């Protein structure tokens, strides 16, 4: 197998010019042009020759070449059909890669894991298109796709949001959801000059390692996430008012007040002060 040869500005420009490629802003196209960053991502993902890896948005195949060398099999899903002939060219020496021209949000990833990895947990690695980071990550977790880890490049601010706790301005529904399903770890901060074209914001590589068991126990996971969403949709309001006003919930003010009291929270508490364990306790009280 050929060693990865993309990942630097010169080679990237050569490929782009050969195919007269035009960047599509709507697809969040910022291609990696730094081999150190690529090495960091591959190392953090801890890929072995046993692994089936799903890559979201291969672009011109830069990271795909690295993944192909490290993994048993790589499945790369790319929405932009203009990139498909480029990928056929840059990945021609890698016989363990399949490219699918599709929107990742429409792919049945659970089926993919069944067909290519006997239903065993897969690894997801990507330099994500930033406009759909949250739906992609939440989709992977909420659909209960068998996942071992997700190692992705995201906007720095989003990486921060995923790993903070209560009492910070970045704390929100994404923090709680990510931490319910996985252990987040920021691998590296990545400046705009590592991409072509340069994004306007800083980026970070974050690894989310799926928990074997959820860190808190709740009798109704769906209800817990409805409570979390309602609390942060109106984060300046008290918890009672946010939950009472939510169209997703149908508890009376009295029921909510009673549950809050039973959990030992103060009457005027706001959702942003609650931990994951607090939300689980509140869910269990409201279910009683």
> Which residues in this chain contact ligand SAM in the complex, by CB under 6 A?
27-32, 56-59, 62-63, 77-80, 83, 103-105, 127, 129, 132
Give the whole-angstrom CA distance, residue 86 versus residue 82: 8
Q: Output the residue with the shortest Cβ distance to ligand SAM.
A: 57
Residue number, 4 or 271, with CB nearest to ligand SAM: 4
In the complex, the smallest distance separating the C-beta of residue 139 from ligand SAM, rounded to whole angstroms, is 11
Residue number, 31 or 265, with CB nearest to ligand SAM: 31
In the complex, the smallest distance separating the C-beta of residue 204 from ligand SAM, rounded to whole angstroms, is 13
Q: Which residues of 206-226 are buried (b: 16+ CB within 10 A; e: fewer)?
A: bbbbbeeeeebebeeeebbbb
In the complex, the smallest distance separating the C-beta of residue 129 from ligand SAM, rounded to whole angstroms, is 3
Residue number, 28 or 166, with CB nearest to ligand SAM: 28
Residue number, 38 or 286, with CB nearest to ligand SAM: 38
What does the block give as tokens for 178?
């990510």
69, 74, 79, 81 alpha-carbon torsion, rounded to 10°: 70
**Is the Cβ–Cβ distance between 224 and 249 less than 8 Å?**
no
CA quadruple 152, 153, 157, 158: dihedral positive or negative? Answer: negative
In the complex, the smallest distance separating the C-beta of residue 121 from ligand SAM, rounded to whole angstroms, is 21
Task: Report the 10 Å Cβ neighbour count for 127.
Answer: 28
What does the block give as tokens for 234?
């109106």
In the complex, the smallest distance separating the C-beta of residue 31 from ligand SAM, rounded to whole angstroms, is 3
């Amino acid at each position: 197998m050929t060693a990865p040869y993309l990942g630097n500005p010169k080679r990237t420009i050569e490929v782009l010019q050969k195919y007269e490629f035009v960047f599509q802003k709507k697809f969040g196209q910022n291609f990696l042009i730094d081999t150190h960053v690529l090495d960091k991502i591959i190392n953090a993902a801890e890929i072995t020759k046993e692994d089936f890896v799903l890559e979201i948005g291969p672009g011109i195949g830069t990271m795909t070449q690295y993944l192909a060398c490290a993994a048993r099999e790589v499945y790369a899903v790319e929405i932009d059909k203009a990139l498909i002939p480029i990928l056929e060219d840059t990945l021609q020496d890698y016989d363990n890669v399949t490219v699918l021209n599709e929107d990742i949000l429409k792919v049945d990833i659970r089926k993919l894991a069944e067909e290519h990895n006997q239903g065993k947990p897969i690894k997801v690695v990507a330099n994500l298109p930033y406009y759909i980071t949250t739906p992609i990550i939440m989709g992977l977790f909420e659909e209960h796709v068998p996942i071992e880890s997700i190692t992705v490049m995201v906007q720095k601010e989003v990486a921060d949001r995923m790993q903070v706790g209560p009492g910070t301005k970045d704390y929100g529904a994404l923090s709680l959801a990510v931490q319910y399903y996985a252990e987040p770890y920021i691998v590296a901060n990545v400046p705009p000059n590592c991409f072509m074209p340069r994004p306007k914001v800083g980026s970070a590589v974050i690894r989310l390692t799926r928990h074997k068991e959820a860190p808190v126990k709740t009798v109704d996971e769906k209800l817990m996430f409805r409570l979390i969403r309602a609390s942060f949709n109106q984060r300046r309001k008290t918890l009672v008012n946010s939950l009472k006003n939510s169209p997703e919930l149908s508890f009376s003010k009295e029921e909510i007040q009673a549950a809050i009291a039973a959990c030992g929270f103060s009457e005027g508490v706001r959702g942003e002060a609650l931990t994951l364990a607090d939300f689980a306790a509140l869910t269990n009280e409201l279910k009683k």
